[in-house]
Amino acid sequence: MTTNLTAIIADDEQHLANYLNDRLSALWPELAIVGIAKNGLEAMRLVDDESPSIVFLDIRMPGLTGLEVASRLEAKTHVVFVTAYDQYAVEAFDKQAADYLLKPVTDERLARTIVRLKEKILKAEAPGDIAGILKQLATVLPASKNAYLRWIRASVGEGVRQIPVDEVFYFQAQDKYVSVYTKDGESLIRTPLSDLQTELDPNEFWQIHRSTIVNVNRIAATTRDVMGKTQLKLKDSKAELQVSRAYAHLFKQM
């Protein structure tokens, strides 16, 4: 039987947690989502209060990471890690007892996870060796703090787009919002530029002005005007970005 099953979702990105909740409700209506946590500490409180059958854990969360939460779960709890990591995590998870979902979560992949969980629960299989998988993950992901942002969820008019970070040309602060510029135009996010910078790979995204962060891979050329100010021309874009003097040293070799 797969009735009377409960689950919690833990993800510090609220919109992603809500999205997973919605898709689970659609694809597995028998599963009762009894709580959504915004961080690892909230997740542990929910686990203590609800004793869920399944926990969906974002690997990277403030307070306690998903890995730290998993290490504290009772052996009877099934774990599904939700992660923005790609091939390294896949190599660690493959052939392990714990399942994983890569962000952005697709219905097809989520459906496969549901089938696996149902089979384990139907056969009364105990959850696998979480300690073992955590040990393996620690070797392939030694610094989870360096898991940089891979997707941006941004507003376009009345809709919302899921944008791969590597498709972004540049970010620019605009009053209460930050504009995200891609080949498809401008989208908006509410994350402050200073917070966004900490989430981006510093080897790929450089701050060039107090209000601008540029994708280095999108720079086509640098020019200097008669005043000695540096400007950037971008590939596949008509935009020209001004580099403030505080960041001009980044382009001395260009």
Residue 156, domain member (yes or no): no
Do residue 29 and residue 90 come from a single domain?
yes
CATH number of the CATH domain containing 96? 3.40.50.2300
Which of 88, 113, 146 is where one domain is finished?
146
Instruction: Please name the residues in contact with 215: beta carbons below 8 A apart, sequence gap of 6 or more.
Output: 166, 168, 169, 170, 204, 205
Say yes or no to pLDDT of 80 above 70: yes
Do residue 134 and residue 174 come from a single domain?
no
Please count the structural domains in the chain.
2
Say yes or no to pLDDT of 15 above 80: yes
Measure the CA–CA gap between 85 and 97, rounded to whole angstroms: 18
Do residue 14 and residue 132 come from a single domain?
yes
Do residue 134 and residue 217 come from a single domain?
no
Residue 231, domain member (yes or no): yes
Residue 78 domain boundaries: 6-146
Mean pLDDT over 134-147 rounds to 55
| pLDDT tens digits for range 165-209 | 989 999 999 888 999 999 999 999 988 898 888 888 888 999 999
Do residue 183 and residue 217 come from a single domain?
yes
Residue 153, domain member (yes or no): no
Mean pLDDT over 245-250 rounds to 85
Do residue 125 and residue 23 come from a single domain?
yes
Do residue 184 and residue 238 come from a single domain?
yes
Residue 60, domain member (yes or no): yes
Instruction: Please name the residues in contact with 103: beta carbons below 8 A apart, sequence gap of 6 or more.
Output: 16, 82, 83, 84, 150, 151
Residue 152, domain member (yes or no): no
Measure the CA–CA gap between 111 and 168, rounded to whole angstroms: 30
Residue 204, domain member (yes or no): yes
Distance of CA 136 to the CA centre of its chain: 21
| pLDDT tens digits for range 144-166 | 444 577 788 888 887 888 888 98
pTM: 0.54
Do residue 70 and residue 182 come from a single domain?
no
Instruction: Please name the residues in contact with 226: beta carbons below 8 A apart, sequence gap of 6 or more.
Output: none
Closest CA to 211 of 184, 239, 182, 244: 244
